[in-house]
């Protein structure tokens, strides 16, 4: 009986293997390169026109975007207010976006990303024992916080609201823009966070004004907590809803955020936009790379067809 079973099993395995080989051979024949010269040439030429057209359009709009980017942590001492002169050489048309950029900071590192309590951020009162995901930054003492955002003294042993390393490293620099004659340029700081964060993900606890060291419903905090995937990232700080004529402007910076602990750098970015978003050289490179591949393919097909005819 055992020999019969072994023979039957071997036969079935061979049959299945033969069927698999037949299917693979059929699939390979079906998907083999089609050497019809004219059809392939037309396909690659159409793709070439597509990539060149959109690559040129993206390049045009890329060149129309005006952007000012400058590092400032090397110009301003920590925990001081400083002024930086900005020269705008051409009129910037609204909407104008104001960003801060940080490099050498990996927000998606598990050490940062998981160090928070989602339920606490949604407004639930949580005890210290329930905040294990924030460890070792659980209490006000752990976070180094002594005052609530309304100025009241915090109990060092109370649960920090919010807790966790990601909150502890919250970016808190502020900016103020003035024209040359001292007129204040309003930077609108509303609607900078995602709608789902504003409406659902961030709510104050019942005793937040007395016990929270930061207002979690502040949209700057929401923007910070929305982690970025790269080590260098920029985050929206506000929008300027007026045109900025060419001229000299003054940016006053309240430089509070320390990047020296992780060898980081801080920049501000003032930029206009286009129908395709802001400056993104990657998109342009991708389309022109596609065009280059199409050119190489067209030339290769030409010589391939010529060699075939010569035979």
The pLDDT assigned to 151 comes to 94
Burial class (CB within 10 angstroms; exposed 0-12, middle 13-18, buried 19+) of 288: middle
Quick: pLDDT tens for 263-310. 899 999 999 998 887 888 888 999 999 999 999 988 888 887 777 766
The pLDDT assigned to 112 comes to 84
Residues with Cβ within 8 Å of 34's Cβ and at least 6 positions away in sequence, in order, are: 40
In the predicted structure, residue 137 carries a pLDDT above the cut 70: yes
In the predicted structure, residue 3 carries a pLDDT above the cut 70: no
The pLDDT assigned to 101 comes to 96
**304 lies in the same domain as 167:** no
**86 lies in the same domain as 214:** yes
**282 lies in the same domain as 269:** no
SS3 43: helix
In the predicted structure, residue 152 carries a pLDDT above the cut 80: yes
Is position 105 within any domain?
yes
**60 lies in the same domain as 92:** no
Is position 8 within any domain?
no
Question: Higher-confidence residue: 170 or 31?
Answer: 170
Domain with 293, as residue range(s), is 34-65+277-311
In the predicted structure, residue 60 carries a pLDDT above the cut 70: yes
Is position 292 within any domain?
yes
Question: Higher-confidence residue: 178 or 307?
Answer: 178
Is position 23 within any domain?
no
Quick one: tokens of 74? 């090397």
**266 lies in the same domain as 281:** no
The pLDDT assigned to 174 comes to 96
Question: Higher-confidence residue: 112 or 73?
Answer: 73
Residues with Cβ within 8 Å of 152's Cβ and at least 6 positions away in sequence, in order, are: 209, 210
> How would you classify the pairing of strands 184-185 and 265-271?
unpaired
Burial class (CB within 10 angstroms; exposed 0-12, middle 13-18, buried 19+) of 184: exposed
Quick: pLDDT tens for 14-58. 444 555 555 555 555 554 555 566 788 888 899 999 999 999 999
Quick one: tokens of 48? 């070439």
Is position 2 within any domain?
no
The pLDDT assigned to 8 comes to 43
**208 lies in the same domain as 290:** no
**53 lies in the same domain as 120:** no
Quick: pLDDT tens for 180-221. 888 999 999 999 999 999 999 999 988 899 999 999 999 999
Count of domains observed in the chain: 2
State the average pLDDT for the chain.
87
Is position 168 within any domain?
yes
Is position 71 within any domain?
yes
**223 lies in the same domain as 304:** no
The pLDDT assigned to 22 comes to 57
Is position 183 within any domain?
yes
Quick: pLDDT tens for 277-286. 788 888 899 9
The total number of residues written for the chain in this structure: 311
Nearest to 210 by CA among 277, 127, 147, 283: 147
Element (H, E) at 210: helix 208-211
Question: What phi-psi label fits residue 277: left (phi over 0), alpha (psi between -120 and 50 degrees) or beta?
Answer: left
**195 lies in the same domain as 90:** yes
The pLDDT assigned to 145 comes to 96
**216 lies in the same domain as 242:** yes
The pLDDT assigned to 36 comes to 66
**54 lies in the same domain as 137:** no
The pLDDT assigned to 18 comes to 52
**183 lies in the same domain as 268:** yes
């Amino acid at each position: 009986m055992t020999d019969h079973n072994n023979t039957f099993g071997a036969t079935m395995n061979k049959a299945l293997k033969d069927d698999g080989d037949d299917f693979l051979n059929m699939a390979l024949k079906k998907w083999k390169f089609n050497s019809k010269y004219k059809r392939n040439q037309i396909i690659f030429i159409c793709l070439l026109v597509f990539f060149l057209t959109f690559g040129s359009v993206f390049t045009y709009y890329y060149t129309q975007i005006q952007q000012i980017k400058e590092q400032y942590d090397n110009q301003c001492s920590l925990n001081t207010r400083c002024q930086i002169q900005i020269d705008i050489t051409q009129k910037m048309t609204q909407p104008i976006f104001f960003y801060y950029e940080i490099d050498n900071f990996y927000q998606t590192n598990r050490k940062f990303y998981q160090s928070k309590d989602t339920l606490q951020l949604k407004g639930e009162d949580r005890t210290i024992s329930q905040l294990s995901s924030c460890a070792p930054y659980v209490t006000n003492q752990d976070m180094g916080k002594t005052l609530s955002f309304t100025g009241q003294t915090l109990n060092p042993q109370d649960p920090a609201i919010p807790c966790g390393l990601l909150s502890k490293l919250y970016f808190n620099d502020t900016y103020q823009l003035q024209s040359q004659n001292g007129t204040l340029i309003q930077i609108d700081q509303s609607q900078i966070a995602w709608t789902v964060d504003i409406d659902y993900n961030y709510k104050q606890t019942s005793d937040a004004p007395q016990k929270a060291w930061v207002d979690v419903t502040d949209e700057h905090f929401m923007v910070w907590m929305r982690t970025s995937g790269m080590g260098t990232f920029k985050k929206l700080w506000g929008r300027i809803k007026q045109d900025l004529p060419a001229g000299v402007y003054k940016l006053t910076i309240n430089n509070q955020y320390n990047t020296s602990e992780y060898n980081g750098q801080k920049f501000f970015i003032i930029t206009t936009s286009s129908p395709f978003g802001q400056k993104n050289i990657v998109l342009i490179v991708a389309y022109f790379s596609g065009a280059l591949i199409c050119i190489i393919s067209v030339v290769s097909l030409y010589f391939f067809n010529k060699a075939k005819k010569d035979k």
